[in-house]
Amino acid sequence: MRALASLAAFLLAGACAREARPRFKEPIKLAGKMVAPGILNAGHVAYLQYCRACHGDKGDGKGPAAPGLRPPPRDFTQGSFKFAGVLDQKLPRDEDLVRIVRGGLHGTAMLTWDVPDQKLDEIIQYIKTLSPKWKEDDAVGDPVVPEPDPWGEARKAEAVARGKTLYHGFAQCLGCHPAYATKQEIYDASKASLGVGTTDFRDAMYLPEIKDSEYGVKILPPDFLFNTLRSINPETEGGDLYRILVAGVTGAAMPAWNPISLPNKEADIWALVYYLRSLLRMKGTPAAEKLHRKLASEPPFVPPPEAGK
Ligand code: HEC
Ligand code: HEC
């Protein structure tokens, strides 16, 4: 409550004390289109009202409410966005920024901000003046357009099993995220999908591995059995997961998967989606605790005789 009250105070201070003088006089070409100065000036005023408390006067993420926030508010002068959700880790389209602001980033201070549509569009145009990257041609990425799910309800169990094999084998998600399989299962998954059974396991493989990022902080990848995901809504979960896998999380170690780099292309992206959903379904249930405890207390792994040959 305290934190909320002081946040409200900051927002109000932002609204009242900061009278913004018009600063844009000419149209500017941003993300390939000319934006009129009136829109940018209005966006600046609305930005000060709604976003400044965290993202700062200069958009550098150093607003008065920012100290101590983990993850820290985005520095817009950097021109890099984790959840843009576009191809080739480029800059987000306007629709992507709307999705981020309307949906919030769960588990962070980036809540769902109730900004009127027109104001939000103005803010979005203004934010693009904060980094020169938006002036480059071709800076904005193409959307990720999911192919239809080839598995369907009838082949769900098969899809989950394929996803589990990819996660612990070919795609090596367990290098950063926790493993959710026994060492024998991981050995089998790597043998089936990579041709060689893994006998080398990272320490604390049933916990996430902390990673460096381009955002000045280290980031802990989520544990799908226990953590809230940032950019995924329960109602659009399947498409959201597909988008995250194909777009990656820019600047935060989470790679982008081009479907053509997977053995069964689109079907494998969808298999990973099915597998992740099966884990997310267990979140917060006793089954999640039970699986974690069972894996963490496994007896030492004895590699099968054929290993190493
Ligand atoms: C209470 C603090 C707070 C306020 C107010 C706030 N944000 Fe954020 N915002 C954050 C934090 C924290 C993050 C970083 C989340 C992360 O890295 O996972 C963030 C991240 C973002 C991102 C980057 C997402 C990405 O993909 O990298 C955008 C865009 C954004 N905010 C826009 C806005 C806009 C527009 C407003 C005003 C309407 C706003 N924010 C208000 C805290 C805030
Ligand atoms: C090199 C490390 C690394 C690998 C490999 C990796 N991830 Fe991630 N992943 C991360 C990090 C770090 C984050 C957290 C990003 C953040 O919240 O800022 C993340 C986040 C995610 C998210 C959540 C996105 C959100 O909106 O919160 C999903 C889903 C995900 N990873 C799935 C996978 C899957 C499936 C694989 C394998 C195909 C994989 N990851 C491989 C590091 C990795």
Q: pLDDT by residue (tens digit) across 232-245?
A: 998 999 999 999 99
Measured CA to CA, the distance from residue 98 to residue 78 in angstroms comes to 19
Structure tokens at 300: 């030492």
pLDDT of residue 19: 54
Q: What is the spatial distance between Cα 305 and Cα 309, in angstroms, rounded to a whole number? A: 8
pLDDT, tens digit, 9 for 90 and up, residues 298-309 = 998 998 888 765
Q: Which residue has the higher pLDDT, 128 or 23?
A: 128
Residue nearest to atom 19 of ligand 1 (CA): 73
Output the pLDDT for position 306: 82
pLDDT in tens, 64-96: 999 999 999 999 999 999 999 999 999 999 999
Asked if residue 128 lies in contact with residue 31, where contact means CB atoms within 8 angstroms, the answer is yes
| Atom 5 of ligand 2, residue of closest alpha carbon | 173
Distance 123 CA to ligand 2 centre (A): 29
> Does residue 231 register a pLDDT over 70?
yes
On whether the CB atoms of residues 211 and 253 are closer than 8 A, the answer is yes
Q: How far is CA 141 from the centre of its chain?
A: 16
Residues 264 and 163: their CA atoms lie apart, in Å, by 11
Q: Is the CB of 100 under 6 A from ligand 2?
A: no
**CB-ligand 2 contact for 65 (6 Å cutoff):** no
Mean pLDDT of the chain: 93
pLDDT in tens, 10-24: 554 444 445 557 899
The two structure tokens encoding residue 158: 């098969």
* CB 24 near ligand 1, within 6 Å: no
Q: Is the CB of 76 under 6 A from ligand 1?
A: no
Confidence class for position 1, pLDDT limits 50, 70, 90: very low
286 CA to middle of ligand 2, Å? 24
- Sign for the CA dihedral angle at 273, 274, 276, 281 comes to positive
Q: How many whole angstroms separate alpha carbon 232 and alpha carbon 184?
A: 31
170-199 tens-digit pLDDT:
999 999 999 999 999 999 999 999 999 999
The confidence score (pLDDT) of residue 307 equals 77
**Sign (positive/negative) of CA torsion 276, 249, 214, 229?**
negative
Q: Which of 52, 55, 98 should be mutated for ligand 1, with most atoms under 8 A from CB?
A: 55
- Mean pLDDT, range 211-228, rounded to an integer: 96
